[in-house]
A and B are shown apart, each in its own frame.
Chain A
């Protein structure tokens, strides 16, 4: 009898127990964007595919829009955007960023006022935004010149001194003062998709972020 059960249960040619795993949701373009919006709380979740080295993903919190633009000669930035993401790198549209000590929006809100600390503006870089990694094994990585926000980019630390690199998320809330003076609060909650492919960024946000006092 045990033998019969054994043979029956093993009759699946391509294996058994497939049901114990989660199926990664087949991702389409429609899965990216402002995937969750709570208008009453001014909060939501943005999910973007930033896995391509050759793309900037521009996020507009005012209009809840995302636009992906390929990096190259004569790249046209969208007219309106607030922050942009390339892999794990970030930049702002003339904004400044502060890394808070808080790991959730509620605690920052409860503080009642802008926390102490210096807001950091973007810097111009020539060796940050990698667009071609194919020569990495020979020590040749191609970069594009670009603005880069070192403060917001602290949301994910990638330690490449060991192989494979060690990824550490800060889990902190970042306060961004946009060029129109409004504030957005951001927190990176994941940098992988369900299939564990890196470069898929899940960003929790509150916009406009208003202090109680």
Chain B
């Protein structure tokens, strides 16, 4: 009986084949062909762009073809079909057909996203040759500045918002651990990242606490090839080195992506004067595994696990170690056009000190977060209703608490969003979220209203969004002796930071040109900071007076068929605070990034020459002459600078890529190393090699 069935099946099977090429009839090796109705079936095109796929029967099926940087195509196959099915793919010059999720928590094409979203694609990541998220954001976006806070810890300023006001997510999950209000950016390495989405402005109606100034969401890449092995390495100045291995499998209902990366750099002695004279050497190890199984057509289960290790040689007698363990399980089930997602996420971030003398590694910080989430999307015609909720347990043990003690906080929230499309041109998005924090006793509502209107080649977007940040366990319970110099005390009576974000944006798209201008206005209330308290003779966490941050972002892109493309991005930011109040930040008012590139591709060779520049204007700020009083200030000016990078990427043969980079092309060396100066010693060179083993067999 079984024999008979298989014979019958064999009879009914049919093989569909054809070629995938670009509009110039150049084969697109590696283009992925899938069947919409059968998610478990997928093949990739060989070196000549030829694919062949086996369908189980003669029913009607939809073939989908995708290739990075090209607009995806579909073709419906009616019943019996014997001719080749060829695809001619059109380049997505402006990445407008990239799917984004961060602005609405539902997949949308970039051009249809009602909330202004900036996407950095896999191509952008490759061109920036970024190791981690910090490198990438800094080179691609204006208004982003990473500088040093105390003890060379990394500190972010994104248009007036610090590290704890910008929410960093990986596939929608938040990250445990922080140092001086910033997550460990080096944890987010760019290997196996499909894209990075950046939404500026408040987004607490979807993401809750910390989404005050923006959200950065790192989206993992799925394994698309039946199997793939990538080996990559890069060498640069100061003995900086990077080694990576990625192994992907995509067989039937199972998909897996494994990634191991190691980086290291020696200490750098700076020649000039400065707030610091030596950049610490460091090394990292990262292991990531993401496993996807599709046991039923409607059910997708994702399991993931990761380990990260970083060691910093901050002193001869002690090395700081940072470790992260994370894991998660997510199930997504489709009911017709609706879908339900349930997930559990675990993230643990530890800090310890390793003493080479006594060979002891003693932990003094551990932040453990468990999060359970449910999201349900319900389609009503062209409209989508999203409802969801999270429960999080946040445990923090820290050397900054009395006797290295620990505290636990529970966060509960529920949110709803309605994505209403009354006409093809109109999109209105409304949302509301309620968050409750057990220890901080914060109950907060975050609303959102966004409107998009499209006409001709233009899209107009306007939005109001509420943002907030609940006081953290650190800010409530700190009791820390700062080197016997002063104490820092937490404050149980802190109010949540809250913000109102208004934004207006106009986008013009025509053919190969795209121009976007966005104006924003933020009112930030109760920002949490430390201030000297005379009664306690120490620093105490306290809420600041009302602050306003406003500015303009502009972004222009042009891509020409001859292989030349250019992008220019500019940001203006202004912070306004009541006179007499301490303004602790030094946000540069004008910043810009620029990229001009030229590339050509042949069958066995291709190149891309790209010139990237960053410009940061000077900024003058008032610095308090004393920590313990806000009476006297002195003027401090940080100089403007520009840094350029020239990079030549060569596709030599099949899957071999060689990238040569000249960083700091015009040899900028700060005359004094301030904490916000680029920590460069002048022009440096880098060489990188990447090999895709699977391409050898195509």
Surface stretch bound by B, among A29-37, A69-77, A163-171, A173-181: A163-171
- Closest chain-B Cβ to A33's Cβ sits at a distance in Å of 18
Q: Is the CB of A194 within 8 A of B355?
A: yes
- Closest chain-B Cβ to A24's Cβ sits at a distance in Å of 5
Closest to A15 in B: B368
Closest to B331 in A: A3
B426 on the A face (CB < 8 A)? no
Q: Is the CB of B277 within 8 A of A196?
A: no
A20 proximity list for chain B (CB < 8 A)? 361
- Closest chain-B Cβ to A141's Cβ sits at a distance in Å of 9
Q: Is the CB of A196 within 8 A of B316?
A: no
Q: Is the CB of A17 within 8 A of B344?
A: no
The DSSP consensus for interface residues of chain B is strand
Closest to B318 in A: A196
Complex-state Cα separation, A53 to B485, whole angstroms: 11
Q: Is the CB of A167 within 8 A of B317?
A: yes
Contact of B317 among A21, A161, A164, A191 (CB under 8 A): A191
- Closest chain-A Cβ to B534's Cβ sits at a distance in Å of 12
Surface stretch bound by A, among B237-245, B346-354, B516-524, B588-596: B346-354
A7-B486 contact in complex given A2-B303, A14-B395, A24-B360, C-beta closer than 8 Å: no
Most buried by B among A22, A168, A190: A22
A110 proximity list for chain B (CB < 8 A)? none
Complex-state Cα separation, A22 to B350, whole angstroms: 13
A16 proximity list for chain B (CB < 8 A)? 325, 348
B627 on the A face (CB < 8 A)? yes
B456 on the A face (CB < 8 A)? no
A162 on the B face (CB < 8 A)? yes
Surface stretch bound by B, among A90-98, A120-128, A130-138, A146-154: A130-138
- Closest chain-B Cβ to A156's Cβ sits at a distance in Å of 10
Q: Is the CB of B277 within 8 A of A162?
A: yes
A189 on the B face (CB < 8 A)? yes
Q: Is the CB of A3 within 8 A of B355?
A: no
B314 proximity list for chain A (CB < 8 A)? 164
Q: Is the CB of A13 within 8 A of B362?
A: no
Which residues 456-495 of B sit at the A interface, judged by CB distance below 8 A?
Answer: 483-486
- Closest chain-A Cβ to B112's Cβ sits at a distance in Å of 34
A3 proximity list for chain B (CB < 8 A)? 301, 303, 329
Number of residues on chain B facing chain A (CB within 8 A): 47
A138 proximity list for chain B (CB < 8 A)? 626-628
B82 proximity list for chain A (CB < 8 A)? none
A195 on the B face (CB < 8 A)? yes
- Closest chain-A Cβ to B391's Cβ sits at a distance in Å of 13
A167 proximity list for chain B (CB < 8 A)? 315-317
Complex-state Cα separation, A70 to B363, whole angstroms: 31
Q: Is the CB of A192 within 8 A of B318?
A: yes
A10 proximity list for chain B (CB < 8 A)? 327, 346, 370
Closest to B406 in A: A14
- Closest chain-B Cβ to A144's Cβ sits at a distance in Å of 15
Which residues 337-378 of B sit at the A interface, judged by CB distance below 8 A?
Answer: 344, 346, 348, 350, 352-353, 355, 357-358, 360-364, 366, 368, 370
Q: Is the CB of A136 within 8 A of B360?
A: no
Contact of A137 among B276, B316, B626 (CB under 8 A): B626
B362 proximity list for chain A (CB < 8 A)? 21-24, 194-196
A79 on the B face (CB < 8 A)? no
B150 on the A face (CB < 8 A)? yes
- Closest chain-A Cβ to B487's Cβ sits at a distance in Å of 9
Q: Is the CB of B355 within 8 A of A192?
A: yes
Q: Is the CB of B368 within 8 A of A14?
A: yes
- Closest chain-A Cβ to B623's Cβ sits at a distance in Å of 13
Closest to A198 in B: B483
B305 proximity list for chain A (CB < 8 A)? 6
Closest to B326 in A: A10
- Closest chain-A Cβ to B369's Cβ sits at a distance in Å of 10
B207 on the A face (CB < 8 A)? no
Q: Is the CB of B357 within 8 A of A190?
A: yes
Complex-state Cα separation, A161 to B344, whole angstroms: 48
Contact of B485 among A6, A133, A194 (CB under 8 A): A133
B276 proximity list for chain A (CB < 8 A)? 162
Contact of B537 among A9, A134, A192 (CB under 8 A): A134
Q: Is the CB of B317 within 8 A of A192?
A: yes
Contact of B329 among A6, A14, A21, A192 (CB under 8 A): A6
Closest to A168 in B: B316
Chain B positions near chain A (C-beta within 8 angstroms)? 150-151, 275-277, 291, 301, 303, 305, 314-318, 323, 325, 327, 329, 344, 346, 348, 350, 352-353, 355, 357-358, 360-364, 366, 368, 370, 393, 395, 397, 406, 483-486, 537, 626-628
Chain A positions near chain B (C-beta within 8 angstroms)? 2-3, 6-7, 9-10, 13-18, 20-24, 53, 133-134, 136-138, 161-164, 166-169, 189-192, 194-196
Q: Give the top 10 A-B pairs by smallest Cβ distance, nearest first.
A: A196-B353, A137-B627, A15-B368, A21-B363, A22-B360, A10-B346, A15-B348, A136-B485, A194-B360, A190-B357
